[in-house]
């Protein structure tokens, strides 16, 4: 059993240690477009002057991504915070497997290909079409298509989910054109490789945490039945939808079906193979379940053809979803949550639906369920089902209410929570809404501060990555790009590469909190929040955890 050693210099506060994660809220590089800096946030400003404060890396190699050109995201961010170390994540694992050739020598890949070549059927690929490297990368898709042809596949169909969230908001045609060029090159020697269907990622298929199964139902009809608006090409569909609504961003584009002579070209048939090429799990699990669950009760799938199905990775190690996968996920062990409950620390984790899995599943190293049913409580606040820019305050107040009740009841020694606002509203590119989202979070932080002070607890405020801090697209000269149609700055909807804040506030002063030598000597990453939490609770962090931000006692 992994237990923590008690600290020789500090027994922990009388009240709880509270970790508040302000999702998508970083420290901006540019004044223009930094809607964190420009927001009214008196509590952030007060903490910056009166609490222990530093910045933490939250992107690239600091969270297990292939390079420092790669943005962080909520999945890898919460993995890093929860496990206290940096593991190579999905993007890096898939990239390495493809480059080494191990990917195509794996049992699952060979099974998917042999099924198609044996029966002369279709090989389907479905996933997010972009180079955002958060859920997927177009390079991985093209590499698989090229290898499939080498191995004798004659017909391949790609079902594209359009991004505009981890990449510029109206960049879909860049990736569609890149894919179409690759497909054209492969469609020789009696081969037929083509895009078969698609739609915006927030319209179909990529639901998460069972927030809206209707998205998956709509995707099932579009991708696998070929039941939907027909177009001769993906470009034609996107151009038509943009002509109808010029300001629409890619994630919200309606679905479409590619047809020839009035018939969909990508409907699913017996003995086809389907590969879901997203490596990130939260928005992939429900599609896996639609293929694999028996019985399946979320919607009527109709007559489901007998097919082979595989995911890029195992998205849930506890439920073994999907049953077949192409690359093994990172083996994350000895997370902070496991150490804490094994040491008798009781825990509350809470957020709204959009980020509930991040403070539970991802925080616990991609592990479903609790480590200890008696010592852990997980409380989910149901998210609203409407565009986030229409309600930018989201459920921050309700999350705060849960935490305040828990602090007053003195029920938990460690509380972790996530405010989704900066990230989810930041992805909309709606500037007024983003400002309100940041101010909402700051207002709630102020409420937490009062409760933590009254309970003689300690508050940690940080983030998993940036977003709202970098809302304007820039050209190669770092000049703000202007949208010709509106004359306004062109919105950026992806995460930033900026560091995130870390405030540690001990209102009683008894912990004698100060920046650690490690934090003073170099810039730490958000993985250091685990050792920081453990130290503030009165324990010594495991020796291989990344250094604590603070010293105490």
Backbone angle region of 17, left / alpha / beta, with phi > 0 → left and psi within -120 to 50 → alpha: beta
The one catalytic residue in 7, 55, 67, 74 is 74
Give the CATH fold of the 5-88+339-551 domain. Alkaline Phosphatase, subunit A (3.40.720)
pLDDT digits (tens, 9 = 90+) for 39-67: 999 999 999 999 999 999 999 999 998 88
User: Measured between alpha carbons, how far is residue 93 from residues 163, 282, 311, 333 in Å?
Assistant: 22, 17, 14, 17
pLDDT the model gives residue 247: 93
Tokens of 230: 């027909």
CB 15 within 8 A of CB 452: yes
How far, in Å, CA of 66 to CA of 134, rounded?
A: 11
Let me know how many helices (H) and strands (E) the chain has, helices first. 18, 20
- Angle of the 234-244 helix axis to the 172-186 helix axis, nearest 10: 160
pLDDT the model gives residue 330: 84
Tokens of 433: 């809404």
Q: Which H or E element spans position 142?
A: helix 138-150
How far, in Å, CA of 333 to CA of 228, rounded?
A: 44
Instruction: Give the number of other CB atoms < 10 A from CB of residue 176.
Output: 21
The SS3 call for residue 260 is strand
The SS3 call for residue 293 is coil
Q: Where are the domains of the chain?
A: 5-88+339-551, 91-327
Q: What angle do CA 322, 374, 361 make, to 5 degrees?
A: 25
Each of the 553 residues of the chain gets a pLDDT tens digit; together they read 789 999 999 999 999 999 999 999 999 999 999 999 999 999 999 999 999 999 999 999 999 988 899 899 999 999 999 999 999 888 999 999 999 999 999 999 999 999 999 999 999 999 999 999 999 999 999 999 999 999 999 999 999 999 999 999 999 999 999 999 999 999 999 999 999 999 999 999 999 989 999 999 999 999 999 999 999 999 999 999 999 999 999 999 999 999 999 999 999 999 999 999 999 999 999 999 999 999 999 999 999 999 999 999 998 877 889 999 999 888 899 999 999 999 999 999 999 999 999 999 999 999 989 999 999 999 999 999 999 999 999 999 999 999 999 999 999 999 999 999 999 999 999 999 999 999 999 999 999 999 999 999 999 999 999 999 999 999 989 999 998 888 999 999 999 999 999 999 999 999 999 999 999 998 999 999 999 999 999 999 999 999 999 999 9
pLDDT the model gives residue 488: 93
Give the CATH fold of the 91-327 domain. 3.40.1450
CB 30 within 8 A of CB 471: no
Tokens of 327: 């690359």
pLDDT the model gives residue 331: 85
CB 55 within 8 A of CB 27: yes
Residue 522 falls in the annotated catalytic set? no
> pTM of the entire structure?
0.84
How far, in Å, CA of 429 to CA of 5, rounded?
A: 46
Q: Count of residues for the chain?
A: 553
pLDDT the model gives residue 45: 97
Please report how many Cα atoms fall inside a 13 Å half-sphere around the Cα of residue 279, on the Cβ side: 30
How far, in Å, CA of 334 to CA of 293, rounded?
A: 30
pLDDT digits (tens, 9 = 90+) for 369-425: 999 999 999 999 999 999 999 999 999 999 999 999 999 999 999 999 999 999 999
With pLDDT > 90 as the criterion, what percentage of the chain qualifies?
94
């Amino acid at each position: 059993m992994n237990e923590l050693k008690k600290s020789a210099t500090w027994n922990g506060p009388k009240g709880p240690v509270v970790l508040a994660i302000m999702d998508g809220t970083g420290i901006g590089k540019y004044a223009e477009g930094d809607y964190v800096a420009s927001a009214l946030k008196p509590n952030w400003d007060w903490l910056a002057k009166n609490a222990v404060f530093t910045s933490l890396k939250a992107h690239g190699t600091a969270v297990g991504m292939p390079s420092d050109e790669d943005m962080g995201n909520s999945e890898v961010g919460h993995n890093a915070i929860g496990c206290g170390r940096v593991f190579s994540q999905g993007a890096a694992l898939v990239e390495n497997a493809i480059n080494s050739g191990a990917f195509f020598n794996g049992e699952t890949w060979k099974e998917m290909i042999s099924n198609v070549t044996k029966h002369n059927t279709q090989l389907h690929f479905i996933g997010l079409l972009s180079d955002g490297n958060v859920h997927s990368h177009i390079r991985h898709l093209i590499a698989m298509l090229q290898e499939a042809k080498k191995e004798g596949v004659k017909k391949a169909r790609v079902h594209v989910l359009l991004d505009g969230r981890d990449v510029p908001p109206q960049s879909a045609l860049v990736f569609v054109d890149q894919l179409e060029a690759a497909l054209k090159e492969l469609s020789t020697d009696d081969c037929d490789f083509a895009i078969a269907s698609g739609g915006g990622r927030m319209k179909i298929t990529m639901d998460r945490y069972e927030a809206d199964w209707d998205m998956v139902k709509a995707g099932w009809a579009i991708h696998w039945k070929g039941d939907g608006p027909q177009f001769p090409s993906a470009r034609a569909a996107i151009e038509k939808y943009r002509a109808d609504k010029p300001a629409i961003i890619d994630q919200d584009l309606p679905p479409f079906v590619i047809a020839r002579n009035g018939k969909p070209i990508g409907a699913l048939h017996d003995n086809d193979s389907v590969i879901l090429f997203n490596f990130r799990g939260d928005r992939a699990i429900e599609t896996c379940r639609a293929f694999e669950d028996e019985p399946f009760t979320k919607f009527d799938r109709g007559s489901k053809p007998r097919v082979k199905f595989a995911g890029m990775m195992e998205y849930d190690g506890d439920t073994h979803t999907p049953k077949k996968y192409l690359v093994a996920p990172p083996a994350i062990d000895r997370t902070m949550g496991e150490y804490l409950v094994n040491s008798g620390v009781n825990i509350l984790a809470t957020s709204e639906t959009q980020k509930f899995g991040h403070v539970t599943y991802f925080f616990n190293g991609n592990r479903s369920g609790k480590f200890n049913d008696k010592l852990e409580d997980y409380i989910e606040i149901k998210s609203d089902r409407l565009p986030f820019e229409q309600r930018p305050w989201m459920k921050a107040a309700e999350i705060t209410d849960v935490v305040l009740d828990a602090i007053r009841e003195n029920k938990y020694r460690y509380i972790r929570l996530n405010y989704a606002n900066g990230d989810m509203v930041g992805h909309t590119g709606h500037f007024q809404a983003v400002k309100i989202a940041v101010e909402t979070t700051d207002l709630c932080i102020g409420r937490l501060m009062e409760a933590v002070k009254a309970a003689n607890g300690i508050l940690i405020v940080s983030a998993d990555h940036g977003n709202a801090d970098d809302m304007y697209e820039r050209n190669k000269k770092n000049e703000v790009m202007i949208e010709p149609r509106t004359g306004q700055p062109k919105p950026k909807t992806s995460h930033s590469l900026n560091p995130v804040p870390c405030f540690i506030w001990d209102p009683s002063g008894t912990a004698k909190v100060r920046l650690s030598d490690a934090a003073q000597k170099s810039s730490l990453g958000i993985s250091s929040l685990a050792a920081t939490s453990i130290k503030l609770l009165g324990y010594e962090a495991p020796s291989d955890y990344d250094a604590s931000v603070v010293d105490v006692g």
